[in-house]
């Protein structure tokens, strides 16, 4: 019997302990009803998004003034940023699980243990930061459902990835449904939004197929993990982006 896909396992109903992962990272007591206090708490969580003193912001820095969402019922809140990208924007599209993280299993380990932080593939955050410093906009296109957005953002922040748009699915997608979901979004980026995909990263056959369906050139479709190089894509060897960063990203021109 074929082993069950880890994404298929996640499609089963989550227990109470798993659903708790979807709660906002910051929660305030119900007695703290003053909007000013809530705003201050939100600001404290968003401070880490601000550039460090003396650090030159990259060309595609997120807005410095976040918009706050506060749930009046329990006082939970979260900062949001708007990304208004014109036609011609040069973007880097990347999957997260198994591409930025070491494997798909990292997420499931986090689901089982909320204190666990998924390991990233070698030099993954370095790769994305270099693209951002060159002026390219990173788009994190993940098959994770919206219920895991808080954990996804928190992990990206904690691991030092640039704060950029995160696209998640309305419901869990995997295999063929992931292919359709990713193809739809990349098609929108190219044909409706007028963005130019400079590089696309993934690890699964659904990533390979979706990028091909959307017309992304195989020469700039970079696949890591056990499917590296399949279907004429460009392989990232040994779960390590270091050499790719030197050979390809450092040689790329600035986005301008």
pLDDT higher at 189 or 56: 189
Which among 14, 48, 80 is the end of a domain?
A: 80
Range of the domain at 65: 31-80
Say whether both 159 and 191 belong to one domain. yes
Say whether both 64 and 101 belong to one domain. no
Q: Return the ∠ at Cα 230 (arms to 207 and 162), rounded to 5°.
A: 45
Whole-model pTM: value is 0.78
Say whether both 171 and 70 belong to one domain. no
The tens digit of pLDDT for each residue in 9-61 reads: 454 444 333 332 333 333 323 333 345 555 565 655 555 445 454 554 444 45
Domain tally for the chain?
2
The tens digit of pLDDT for each residue in 72-129 reads: 777 777 777 778 889 999 999 999 999 999 999 998 898 889 899 999 999 999 999 9
| Mean pLDDT confidence for 226-247 | 98
Q: What is the CATH number of the domain that holds 219?
A: 3.40.50.1000
- Domain assignment present for residue 116? The answer is yes
DSSP-assigned beta bridge partners for residue 55: none
CA gap 94, 223 in Å, rounded: 10
pLDDT of 140 > 90? The answer is: yes
> Please, how many CA atoms are within 13 Å of residue 14, restricted to the half-sphere of its CB?
18
CA gap 211, 186 in Å, rounded: 7
Q: Which residues contact 178 (CB under 8 A, 6 or more apart)?
A: 7, 143, 204, 206, 207, 210
Say whether both 177 and 74 belong to one domain. no
The tens digit of pLDDT for each residue in 29-39 reads: 333 334 555 55
Percentage of residues in the chain having pLDDT higher than 90 = 59
């Amino acid at each position: 019997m074929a082993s069950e896909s880890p994404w298929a396992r996640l499609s089963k109903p989550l227990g109470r302990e798993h659903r708790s992962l979807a709660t906002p990272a910051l929660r305030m007591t119900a007695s703290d009803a003053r909007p000013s206090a809530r705003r201050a708490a939100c600001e404290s969580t968003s401070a880490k998004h601000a550039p460090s003193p003396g650090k030159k912001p990259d060309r595609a820095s997120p807005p410095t003034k976040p918009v706050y969402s506060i749930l009046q019922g329990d006082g939970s809140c979260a900062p949001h940023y708007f990304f208004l990208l014109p036609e011609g924007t040069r973007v880097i599209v990347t999957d997260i699980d198994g591409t930025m993280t070491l494997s798909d299993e990292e997420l499931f380990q986090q689901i089982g243990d909320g204190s666990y932080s998924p390991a990233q593939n070698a030099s993954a955050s370095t790769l994305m930061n270099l693209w951002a410093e060159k002026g390219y906009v990173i788009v994190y296109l993940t098959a994770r459902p919206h219920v895991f957005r808080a954990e996804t953002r928190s992990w990206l922040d904690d691991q030092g990835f640039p704060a950029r748009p995160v696209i998640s699915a309305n419901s869990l997608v995997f295999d063929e449904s992931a292919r359709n979901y990713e193809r739809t979004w990349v098609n929108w980026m190219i044909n409706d939004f007028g963005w130019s995909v400079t590089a696309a990263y993934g690890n699964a056959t659904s990533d390979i197929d979706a990028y091909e369906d959307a017309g992304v050139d195989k020469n700039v479709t970079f696949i890591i993990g056990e499917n590296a190089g399949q279907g004429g894509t460009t392989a990232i060897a040994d779960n390590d982006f270091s050499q790719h960063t030197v050979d390809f990203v450092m040689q790329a021109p600035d986005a301008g």
